[in-house]
Every structure is written in structure tokens, then in C-alpha cells.
Amino acid sequence: MTIKRLPVLLALIFLLTGVPGAATFYTDWLWFKEVGYEQVFLRSLTARTLVTVIAGVVTFALLAGNLMLALRSLRPRPFLIDTPQGPRTIMMDPTRIRPFALAAAGFVALLTALYAGGQWETWLYFLNATPFGKADPILGRDIGFYVFTLPLFEMVQGILYFVVFLMAVMALAAYIFGEEVGLDATRGVFVSRRATRHLGLLAAAMLLVLAFGAWLQIPQLLTTTSGVVTGATYTDVNARMPALWVLVGAAVLSAALAVWQAMTVGRLWPIAAAAGLYFLVSLGGSAYAAIIQRFVVAPNEQVRETPFIIHNIQATRAAFGLDGVTERPLSGEAHLTRADLERNAATIANVPLWNDRPLLDTFSQIQEIRTYYDFVAVDNDRYTINGQYRQIMLSARELNSRSLPSRTWINEHLTFTHGYGLTLGPVNEVTREGLPVLFIKDLPPVSTADLKVTQPAVYYGELPNDHVFVKTKTEEFDYPRGDDNVFAAYQGDGGVPLSNIFRRLMFAIRFRSTDTFFSPNLTEESRVMMYRRIAERVGRIAPFLTYDPDPYLAISEGKLVWMQDVYTASQRYPYSTTIGGVSYIRNAIKVTIDAYHGKTTYHVVDPSDPIAQTVGKIFPGLLKPLDTMPEDLRTRLRYPQQIFAMQASMFATFHMLNPAVFYNREDQWEIPSFDVAGKPTPMHPYYTIMKLPGESGAEYIQMLPFTPRGKDNLAAWMVARSDGANYGKLAVFQFPKQTVIFGPRQVAARINQDQAISPQITLWNQQGSEVIQGTLLVIPIEESLIYIRPLYLRAAGGQIPELKRVIVAYQNNIVMEETLSAALERIFPGGARPQPQPPAVEGQPTPVPVEGPQPPSPDAGSLAEQARAHYQRALKAQREGNWALYGEEIRKLGEVLEKMRR
């Protein structure tokens, strides 16, 4: 009965596994055709299949042939077993063992094949390798050998070791079972002639595999950390490498002894000698290396390791693109004046007072409009707006289907298909209520600048939304208008067409949805959009690339386009120190994804990168030249924060070029850290527009400061440039070692200890409000710098952070004012009184003037008005019992009166 049901059971298993798998495969193929990367899909599929089949067939042939050879001479033999009825003798027929042995071989071959097939990229990189044009300093091999060839050799050696080891174990077990190998009291260890030959050849094969592994360890020494540097050290080059060459020779000689053992009749000493020779040389090599390290290197390590420290410095700088860093000294003695601020007005006018987290919370409260809209992240960029080069922050308004009030199939997949619009505003302007000024806002999007969005629908974004159907009989929700909703029909070409009944069936099986097959709302014109999340989309097209975790939104010709940074990276660059799991990295590729159509395009921004060139060889047509990207999108390119943070972290150590200084870490820097939730957290790079010292105009950059290791004073600051021909160029501005410049931690401590600022923050917190201290910004001006920190206030029980104060620190001066202009005026007096504002538009908050210095000086009338305002605020604070604010206003009143006296 059970045997009769077996075909039914097998058919059921196939239906449950094979049919859904086939549906997924077929629909993925349709999707790859729709996005224009069918050749990528077919090439990767062909490579995976070919490698899997070859590895499986070869492994099965070796294992099965080995087993059949070992089981060939087995004869039926009796076994005595205990039963409840007493001892019984049974006959074991070897012919019944063979099917199980072959099944076991097949299972192992399948696992090996799947593992090898999963490494299909390694095979393609090997077959299409592009030389780096640089050789390692020890073995003289091109860097491409380590990046493309060595990983394949290691994988092949690992598979061979596994297979040969299993062959030896299986053969030995078969011969023991057949009583051709054993141990008895009279003969001792006995091995039949046939078993001697078979096991001897297997031992020779294992020793050759071990010889191959020992040979691979030689180049591996250049990519691993040993001693004071990454890469081969003095001991590696002068002890371990010679010992490994000896080990290779010993393994080959041992293999020859094993073959001799297999081919001749005699004692077992050759095979024992072979194994003993290999292990003796292996242990001897390790002991020799330890002796060299202890008695030759350790007493004079710095001198012995100097050449290898130089290799480490040069390789790391080349691998992380640090060999092209422009280094410039700063005097550290410059004193800023009002004229300096005016010459750097573009820098001051673009100080990013709004930080990502508070701004995202604010957007979520004032611009989400409906509960099913989400702002996932705030992106930083720059645009020319109304003729001015402005730094802005923007965020897409995406639709979160999980937040729909009624999560029916029609709502989730047919009606609520897309987000709508974005919120965009300058980084430095606030309303009088402490909220961000917005250039683009509301639904439908309203723009108060010369930056227009003509197609605001967001079908593809950062949220992990499910598939949707467009061009159906059901109207798509577009955006809300008051108490009503506006509906629209998709007019783009994104998505896979459901052009026939078979496709609908396949998608229904894939989505496990009967509605997909039976719904009358779907037609032959309908399309299904899959992989709508940016990270999932690009990762599905090209999983062999490394993607930045933060795609950002851009506006191009009125359309919304996502920009995704791609890294080409490796762990195998010889002598390069590893950080974040990589020892080589380039931002060589950019991806653009149309938020409406879903069109995904890969562009090469660094055509000289060998890894990008290799990817281009493997997948012709995948990577497009950068000049095919629209011009306005090219102006949106920005250098990624992730790679810049890695480069800055490496440069903190590898700016030291003198090997003696490097060895002793005499001039090592570090990125300043702040205590966040009791844990030290390094500063993150931040974008800003500023005029670099020695440059003629302001540009979009990101920067990070450095402090000496174990100290808090400022040592240098590093920038990554993003505009035009300067894209990706790094520069470091270094202060003299004999000059002490306050660092971020010192300034933060001084802010927290200030007699006017600290009581005010404490008072706000005691009143139930939450004070959020923003990012402490280091703003270089000429050859000096100022520190700026915004303060946000979240009312008790409220959700909206409001920008209430700006703290400015310069040298020994620390002030806190309501605006950046007012704070700068206190430290650098001479600015103008605020210009008259345009009349407020009904329903819109009145914007505060753009932050920045103004050239004219205040007159007596304006000073008198300031004095009156301070006096009134002091009286109000006195009535409210706010003595910290009262003291602050009285101090400001005294400063204004002093100006009037002059």
C-alpha cells in the first residue's frame, strides 16, 4: 500500500515545490526582460548552471567510482546478531549496499555542486580578470591575481580537499567492512594488496591537494594581518615563505612515496614516512618562524619591519584612494573679522542648521497629510534656486501599504499603488515658529521656487512595499484633496504586462493569490510592478555589486529620480589594511532609478577601476558611460558618506608616511567621538556648501575633523568634494602641532558648562520640554574656524522639534541666540539690521531671513529698538520666574547699551 502511494506523494511534493519554483523563475525572467537586463539574468543563470552541473558531475563521478572500486570485491558474509529468540546469523549481500552508497555519493555531490554554483561570480571574475597594472612588492604578481585568481584557487582547493577526504574515508570504511583492512593479534595491521594500491593513490592525491594549499598560503601571507602590519612581515618573508616552499616540496615528495607504496609490494613504511615527512616539515616551519620572530625580529622590530611598514602604507593609500589626497597646512593663528565672514557669505548662508533626525520628525508631523504616507529618510543635496546656489534637504512622501486603514487585496494592490510628491527646503531657514521653511510642500506639490515637479508619483522608493498592479479597471488613488480623493491612471511603461492567461496564472502562483488570477479588474493591458524597493531592485539586477545603504532623491527635468551609489570592493588587496571587511574600495558606479517608470540605469563614474572593467566584460551592456546620464542629473552626483568615512578613518593613521613615526603611532589622529546613550560614537561626515581655503568660490563638500589620538584639540579637517571635475577629490587642511585649537569635544564641554547656556537648557528640561542638541558643526572660514550647534525644543507631549536657538563658538567666545545672524553679530559686530520681510501669505508661516552676515552697520535707531526688545523680554522672564533667561537678556541689554555709548 505504501509503495503504491509513493508516486502520488512524489507528485504532491513536485506540485508544492517545483511548480512555485518554476513560476518564480518564469516571472523573474519576464521582469528582467521588462527592466532591460535579460542578458544579465541569462549570463548569471548560465554560469551558475554550468558550474553547478560540472562540479556535481565531477564530484559524483569521483565519489561513485571510488566507492564502486572499493566495493567491487565484496562478497556476501555472515553477521551474528542477538535477537529475543537468541543469536542468529544473517547474510549481508553487498549488492544491496551499492544503491545506498551511490545515493550517499549523489547527495554529497549535490551539496558540493550547490556550493560551487553559488560561487559562480568567482569563476566569471577569474575568466574575465582585468589587470590592475600594479605588482605586489614581494612576489611581483599583479594585484589582479589576488583579487580575481586567488579566490578561485582557494575555492577549488577547498572542494578538492573535501572530496578527496571523503573518498579516503569511504574507501577505508568499505575495505574494513570487506575485511581487507584490519587488526588482529597475529598479523597486527594487515592491508590487502588491492586496498594498499587504492588507499595509497588516495593518500597521494590528498598530499598533492595539501601541496596546492601550502602553495596558496604564500600569496595569502600578503593579504592577512601578521605582526605590526597587514601583509607579509620580516618573519613571513624570511621564514614562513621559505618554510612553505619546503612544505610544498615535502608534500610532493610524500605523494611520490605514497604512489610508490601503491605500486609496489612491501611494508607500510613508505606511507607512514610520507605522512611523517609532511607533518614534520609543517611543524618545523612553524617552529622556525617562531624562533626568527623571537630572536631576530623582536629585539629590533622597528628596523626589521621598516620595509614592510612602507609596503603597508603605500598599498593602503593606493587601495583607498588616499595617495591623491591634497594636503595643505594652515597657520592656526588667523583671527576672523567681519570682513572674513562677508567674503565667505556663501558658507555662512548654507550652514546646515537642520539635522536629519529632527527634520524627519518635523516632516512626519506637518507634511505626511494622511496616516498611510511616510517620510523614510531626509536627503541632503544642492540646487541652484532662484539664481542662488543653495543647500537643501528633501524627502519623498511614500505610501506605506501596511498603514492603510483597510488592508484589502484591492486596496493594497490596485488602488493605493504609489506615494506622491516630496518636501524640500533649505537647510538654514526657519519660520518664526521654529519650523523649517519649505520650497516644495503639500499635496499636490506647491513650489515657491523655480524648482518644479511635473511627475510627483512615487511608485519606486525606499519602503519595502509589495507588488502592485497598474492599468487596471480600478482607479488608482493619486492624492487627497480636502475630504475627497483624486484618482488617476498610470501612464508609464513600468511593470510586466499581464498579456495572456498563462502569465496571470504564473503570477498568481508566485504571489500565492487567487485574486491575481480571478480578479475581473485585471486585463491584458494591466502591468505588475515588482521589486519596487530601491535596495531590493538594484540588488536583484546585480547582486555581485556592493551598494551604499542610503539612496537619495533627486529632481531631474521635473521628474523624481533615485540615485544609488555602488562600490567595487575587495578583501584581497596585498599589504592593504582592512576596514569594514574590505581592503580596496572605489565609488565606481552610480545607478539611477526613475521613481515613476522604474527605469534602472547603471553608469560608470570611474572607468579606470579594474573591478568595474571586469564587470563590464562579464555583462556587456550593463554599465553605461557617464556621459549618457542627463546633464542635470550629473550635477546631482555627490560623494557618498560611507566611503568618505572609511577613507577618513584610514587617513587618520596612514597620513604618517615616515615608517618610524608610523611604527610608534606618534602622529596618529582619530575622529572625535561624543557620548551617545553612554557609548562613545564617532562624528559622522556631514554635507555643506563652503568656500575652501585657497579656492575662489563655494562648493558642495562633506567634511570630518581630526583630533590627535587620546587628545581633544583639533589637528586637521578633511573634505571630499562633489562638484564637477572635482568630484571625489579629497583634501586635508592641517593645523600646526604647536598650536592648540579647540576640538569638538572641548567645545561641546564648554557649551554644557557655559553659565548662560547650561541653566537655560536645564530650565527647559525641567519644564517638561525636551532639548535636542543638534550636530556640532565645524565650519572653516579662511584659515580659522567657528563651531555652530543648533538647539531644538520639543514641547512636553509634543511631536514636532522646533529650532529655537543657535549656539556659536569662536575661540574663547560662546553665545546662544535665536538666529545664526544674531549669534554671529554678537561675536563679530557690524552686521545690518534685518531687512523688511515680504508680506506673509495667508495660511503660511512667515520665514526668518536667510542666515548670513550683512555688510552695513546698525544705526542708533536700530540699537535703541534692540535695547527695548531685550528690556521687554527681561521683564517678561522676571514675571515668569525664568531667572536664567532674565540674566541673559540683561547681559544682552548691557552689550547694546555699550554699542550705543560708542
Structure confidence by residue, pLDDT tens digits, 597-640: 999 999 999 999 999 999 999 999 999 999 999 999 999 999 99
The DSSP letter of residue 513 is -
**Contact 423/438 with Cβ under 8 angstroms?**
yes
What stretches of 640-743 show up as alpha helix (H) in DSSP?
641-654, 659-664
> Could you tell me what percent of the chain has a pLDDT over 70?
88
Note the pLDDT of residue 687: 94
pLDDT band at 696 (very low <50, low <70, confident <90, very high): confident
Helix (H) / strand (E) element for 895: namely helix 883-901
**Contact 590/563 with Cβ under 8 angstroms?**
yes
Distance CA 552, CA 377 (A): 9
Q: Which cell goes with 881? A: 520666574
Residue 185 neighbours by CB under 8 Å, 6+ apart: none
**How many CB atoms are located within 10 Å of the residue 811 CB?**
13
Note the pLDDT of residue 835: 41
Distance CA 419, CA 479 (A): 8
Highest mean pLDDT among 447-451, 680-684, 759-763: 447-451
Instruction: Indicate the SS3 state at residue 292.
Output: helix
**How many CB atoms are located within 10 Å of the residue 874 CB?**
20
Note the pLDDT of residue 13: 60
Instruction: Indicate the SS3 state at residue 511.
Output: helix
Note the pLDDT of residue 1: 44
**How many CB atoms are located within 10 Å of the residue 491 CB?**
11
Pick the closest to residue 784 from 841, 735, 830, 713 (CA basis): 735
Query: For the residues of 204-225, what is the DSSP string, one character each?
Result: HHHHHHHHHHHHHHHHHTTTSE
Task: Return phi, psi of residue 241, to 5°.
Answer: -65, -50
Distance CA 596, CA 184 (A): 80
CA 792 and chain centroid, separation: 30
Query: For the residues of 116-175, what is the DSSP string, one character each?
Result: HHHTHHHHHHHHT----S-B-TTT--BHHIIIIIHHHHHHHHHHHHHHHHHHHHHHHHHH
Note the pLDDT of residue 186: 63
Q: Between these two residues, 101 and 37, which has the higher pLDDT value?
A: 37
Is the pLDDT confidence value at 166 over 60? yes
**How many CB atoms are located within 10 Å of the residue 11 CB?**
11
Rg from Cα positions in the chain = 36
The distance in angstroms from the start CA to the end CA of the chain is 111
Is the pLDDT confidence value at 80 over 70? no
Angle, helix 193-220 to helix 38-71, in steps of 10 degrees: 150
Using one digit for the tens of pLDDT, what is the confidence trace for 209-261? 999 999 999 999 999 988 889 999 999 999 999 999 999 999 998 888 888 87
pLDDT band at 77 (very low <50, low <70, confident <90, very high): low
Using one digit for the tens of pLDDT, what is the confidence trace for 637-667? 999 999 999 999 999 999 999 999 999 999 9
**How many CB atoms are located within 10 Å of the residue 306 CB?**
15
Q: Which amino acid is at 195?
A: A
Query: What mean pLDDT is predicted for residues 13-18?
Result: 63
> Could you tell me what percent of the chain has a pLDDT over 90?
62
Note the pLDDT of residue 795: 82
pTM of the model as a whole: 0.87
Distance CA 251, CA 243 (A): 12
Is the pLDDT confidence value at 842 over 50? no
The DSSP letter of residue 714 is B
pLDDT band at 273 (very low <50, low <70, confident <90, very high): confident
The DSSP letter of residue 852 is S
Distance CA 9, CA 7 (A): 5
Strands 388-399 and 422-426: antiparallel
CA dihedral 256, 262, 263, 264 (to 10 degrees): 100
Pick the closest to residue 211 from 138, 153, 168, 171 (CA basis): 153
Instruction: Indicate the SS3 state at residue 739.
Output: coil
Distance CA 635, CA 633 (A): 5
Note the pLDDT of residue 768: 75
Note the pLDDT of residue 122: 95
Query: What mean pLDDT is predicted for residues 673-680?
Result: 76
Q: Which cell goes with 847? A: 520665514
Using one digit for the tens of pLDDT, what is the confidence trace for 508-550? 999 999 999 999 999 999 999 999 999 999 999 999 999 999 9
Its sign, for the CA torsion 665, 670, 674, 675, is negative
Query: What mean pLDDT is predicted for residues 418-439?
Result: 92
Note the pLDDT of residue 27: 95
Q: What residues does 255 pair with on adjacent strands? A: none
Residue 397 neighbours by CB under 8 Å, 6+ apart: 367, 368, 369, 373, 374, 375, 419, 420, 421, 422, 423, 443, 458
Distance CA 807, CA 811 (A): 13
The DSSP letter of residue 850 is P
CA dihedral 496, 500, 505, 506 (to 10 degrees): -40
**Contact 570/584 with Cβ under 8 angstroms?**
yes
**How many CB atoms are located within 10 Å of the residue 345 CB?**
16
Q: Which cell goes with 747? A: 567645545
Residue 214 neighbours by CB under 8 Å, 6+ apart: 244, 247, 248, 251
Whether the ω angle into residue 759 lies within 30 degrees of 0, i.e. cis, is no
Using one digit for the tens of pLDDT, what is the confidence trace for 84-135? 766 766 656 666 777 888 888 999 999 999 999 999 999 999 999 999 999 9
Is the pLDDT confidence value at 724 over 70? yes
Query: What mean pLDDT is predicted for residues 441-460?
Result: 93
Helices vs strands, H then E, count in the chain: 28, 38
Q: Which cell goes with 791? A: 538647539
Instruction: Indicate the SS3 state at residue 26.
Output: helix
**Contact 384/419 with Cβ under 8 angstroms?**
no
Q: Which amino acid is at 853?
A: P
Distance CA 420, CA 199 (A): 71
Note the pLDDT of residue 653: 96
Distance CA 787, CA 519 (A): 61
pLDDT band at 266 (very low <50, low <70, confident <90, very high): low
Is the pLDDT confidence value at 876 over 80? no
Note the pLDDT of residue 82: 67
**Contact 31/530 with Cβ under 8 angstroms?**
yes
Query: What mean pLDDT is predicted for residues 860-873?
Result: 70
Residue 281 neighbours by CB under 8 Å, 6+ apart: 243, 246, 247, 250
**Contact 592/623 with Cβ under 8 angstroms?**
no
Query: For the residues of 420-453, what is the DSSP string, one character each?
Result: E-EEEEESS-BBTTSPBP-SEETTTTEESSS---
Angle, alpha carbons 195-201-203 (nearest 5°): 95
pLDDT band at 699 (very low <50, low <70, confident <90, very high): very high
